[in-house]
Amino acid sequence: MKPSPHRIMRVSLLLCLLLPWQGVWAVELTGRFAMLGTTARAEAGDWGHQETAGDLLSADQQGLRLMLEEGGELAEWSAHLRLVRTHTYGLSAPQGHSSELFRYTELGGTLLDEGDETATTVVRYELDRLAYRRQFSHSALTLGRQPIDWGSGRFWQPLNLFGSFAPTDLDTDYKPGIDSVALDYFPSPFSSLSAVYALAPQGEAAIKDSGALHYRRQVGELSEVALVAGSISGNTALGGSFESAWQGIGWRIEGVHYWLDEMDEQVLFWIAGLDYQFANGTLLSAEYYDNSRGAVTQGEMAEVAEDPLLLSGLQQQLSRRLVGLGLARDLTPLLHGGYTLLGALLEDDSGAPAWSLLHQFNLTYSVSNESDLLLSLLLPEGRGLSSADEPRSEFGHIPAAFTLRLRFYF
């Protein structure tokens, strides 16, 4: 009988542990604590709006991440344990990340889950990373729960086949790990080839294991090319990216073509972007997004909102076409400012263009070398929910929100 991929992975991990390694091992335990509070104002047509216009919604979260790193010259361990308490009043609870599609087992649980129709309190823990990495002369093998992060886009990354952060995510320090085997080969100092095999959730017969190849190579002094190919939960993907610079302007184009097996559909997802830094230090980023699976008209929004790819987090936006604009600058040695504008274009019932906008203003103050304070303001524009609570624009149904976050490392 042919051995299962799960058995192969466990045997491979055991063999790596039995390999001899050289050098002195050093153990380091570090951590990060973060607490944030969000207040949102839900007008008519917004998510969370009740009978009375102008409802104030709120959420607060406290999170602790303990990180154990142990390694020598040729091998290392990494383990991250997360403990998170979330309290919401009126706001929806945080949705799961797409990494859940590539985790064989949960490795976590719920310590507390209580609440009613308006307020909930949840305390959860999870082992977010647990990986062993073994280095060889021109390659490295990593087994276990680890992050896989590809792509070059600033707002969206089509090459991130195993999921990516949303453009407005405030916490992007640690990408969630997935249960996988990753082999990295370095044929030269300027190129790499990565092969990843990721396990599907145990007992989920409808979700298949995934595998992908990623090749990256520097071309000349200013350019880089990347290629990807793989099968993600049974859907074939093939794509690539190219980055370069001209006259001080960085530019990139990145895209992936999908063959969706169950839906018998082909999808093209691509982005193109520019970066430019002014003399005063202000960094300007602009990006165009096109996903052929997204909605073109307002009438298509409700159908796209139920799309399995969107619900799983592999597809982030409802609309087919969006633009992203970002400005970032160090205002003082301790204060950093950022502004993000996302815009989606749809056709209304009469065929006229209808824009939906999302503004995000961020200020980050460095309290010390190990801590910072973030203030974030989110302001949406566009048509709100329909009478059937279905979206009619990309951002119009999102309530305006203010977030305050303090985090420190130890």
Q: What are phi and psi of 20, to 5 degrees?
A: -75, 145
Q: What is the pLDDT of residue 90?
A: 82
CB 268 within 8 A of CB 259: no
Q: What is the pLDDT of residue 26?
A: 67
In angstroms, what CA-CA distances link 361 with 82, 170, 358, 402? 28, 11, 10, 10
CB 228 within 8 A of CB 214: yes
- Give which of 178, 222, 410, 408 is closest to 313, Cα–Cα: 178
CB 148 within 8 A of CB 162: yes
Which domain covers residue 230, as residue numbers? 150-409
To the question of pTM greater than 0.75 for the whole model, the response is yes
Instruction: Give the whole-angstrom CA distance, residue 245 versus residue 221.
Output: 10
Tokens of 303: 């159908």
Q: What is the pLDDT of residue 93?
A: 58
Instruction: Examine residue 9 and state whether it is found in any structural domain, yes or no.
Output: no
Q: What is the pLDDT of residue 150?
A: 97
Instruction: Examine residue 291 and state whether it is found in any structural domain, yes or no.
Output: yes
Instruction: Examine residue 76 and state whether it is found in any structural domain, yes or no.
Output: no
Instruction: Give the whole-angstrom CA distance, residue 296 versus residue 303.
Output: 11
Q: What is the pLDDT of residue 239?
A: 98
Residue type, 339: Y
How deeply is 40 buried, as exposed, middle or buried, from its count of CB atoms within 10 A (0-12, 13-18, 19+)?
buried
Instruction: Examine residue 222 and state whether it is found in any structural domain, yes or no.
Output: yes
- Give which of 152, 98, 145 is closest to 126, Cα–Cα: 145
Instruction: Examine residue 33 and state whether it is found in any structural domain, yes or no.
Output: no
Instruction: Give the whole-angstrom CA distance, residue 62 versus residue 408.
Output: 12
> Which residue positions in the chain have pLDDT lower than 70?
1-26, 51-54, 92-96
Instruction: Examine residue 186 and state whether it is found in any structural domain, yes or no.
Output: yes
Q: What is the pLDDT of residue 94?
A: 57
Q: What is the pLDDT of residue 4?
A: 56
Instruction: Examine residue 160 and state whether it is found in any structural domain, yes or no.
Output: yes
**Complete DSSP assignment for 33-56:** EEEEEEEEEE-TTSTT--SSTTEE
Instruction: Give the whole-angstrom CA distance, residue 64 versus residue 83.
Output: 5
Instruction: Give the whole-angstrom CA distance, residue 255 versus residue 277.
Output: 25
HSE-CB of 116 using CA atoms within 13 angstroms: 1
CATH number for 328: 2.40.160.10
What's the number of domains the chain is made of? 1
Residue 13 contacts by C-beta under 8 Å, 6 or more apart in sequence? 132, 143, 144
Instruction: Examine residue 337 and state whether it is found in any structural domain, yes or no.
Output: yes
CB 214 within 8 A of CB 227: yes
How deeply is 271 buried, as exposed, middle or buried, from its count of CB atoms within 10 A (0-12, 13-18, 19+)?
buried
